Amino acid sequence: MIYIYGSGGRAKLIREILIRHKVKSKNIEFIDDYIEKYKKTSYLLKNFNKKKDQLYIGISDPKLQKKKYSFFKKKFKRIDNDPLIDPKAILKSNIKLKKNVIILENASIGPNVELDQNVFIGANVIINHDCKIKKFTTIGHGANLAGNVVVNENCLIGISSIFKQNVLVEENVIIGCGANIIKKCQKNSTYYGNPAKKSN
């Protein structure tokens, strides 16, 4: 069985890639804390087969995703999966992908790109050459990162945002949808607009 922790948009997108990889829908189960069946009986802890089953964390919020991943990692040890890549994604040469990377359809990943553990790449994303995306970061659908962009841990990059070449994004940053990032983003901050500015 393949379990997906969560049942919102992220979880449904993970399910769709699994189905494209010929996994039967009957072998995929959502685990949702808000449903009494799962909450009261500790359903996943009881039913997860450590030798055969797989677990994906289908949560968009980076901090909550990291918290749940750490919790289940202690319980099950082996929950790290090989990268899950939609068959319609384009991957260029010399790319480094770590465990639990997820790449949706029509994403284009340029040469020498590094995607760290638990990175999520949305549909139609363009990540150009030599970019580095760190742990527990989400790149929203349609975002476009020019070359040599570094996005640190626990960042949430909004849909259709654009990044100038050589930009650094520090950890725990939220980038608004459609933002145009032309300079360094400071940690623990939110940026939006064109050109993007730090929110007060």
Residue 92 shares a structural domain with residue 186 = yes
Alpha-carbon gap, residue 107 to 56, rounded angstroms: 20
Query: How many angstroms separate the most distant Cα atoms in the chain?
Result: 50
User: Does residue 41 share a domain with residue 25?
Assistant: yes
Q: Has residue 200 been placed in a domain?
A: no
Do the domain assignments include residue 196?
no
> How far apart (Å, rounded) are the C-alpha atoms in residues 68 and 111?
32
Which of 46, 76, 106 is where one domain is finished?
A: 76
Residue type, 184: K
Residue 60 counted as domain residue = yes
Residue at a domain's end among 45, 76, 107 = 76
Question: Are 108 and 19 in the same domain?
Answer: no
Q: What is the pLDDT of residues 53-89, one digit of tens each?
A: 999 999 999 999 999 999 999 988 889 999 999 999 9
- Do residue 89 and residue 144 come from a single domain? yes
Residue with tokens 């459609």: 178
pLDDT in tens, 84-141: 999 999 999 999 999 999 999 999 999 999 999 999 999 999 999 999 999 999 999 9
Query: How many helices, marked H, and strands, marked E, lie in the chain?
Result: 4, 22
**What pLDDT is attached to residue 85?**
98
Tokens of 40: 């009261």
Output the pTM of the full model. Answer: 0.95
Structural domain contains residue 197: no
Smallest CA-to-CA distance from 92 within 111, 119, 70 is with: 111
Do 9 and 19 contact (CB within 8 A), yes or no? Answer: no
Instruction: State whether 56 and 87 are in the same domain.
Output: no
Q: Number of folded domains in the chain?
A: 2
Which domain covers residue 163, as residue numbers? 83-190
Same domain, 70 and 161: no
In a domain, 159, yes or no: yes
The CATH code of the domain that includes 44 is: 3.40.50.20
Tell me how far apart the alpha carbons of residues 160 and 126 are, in angstroms, rounded to a whole number. Answer: 10
Residue 22 located in a structural domain:
yes
**Chain centre to alpha carbon of residue 95:** 17
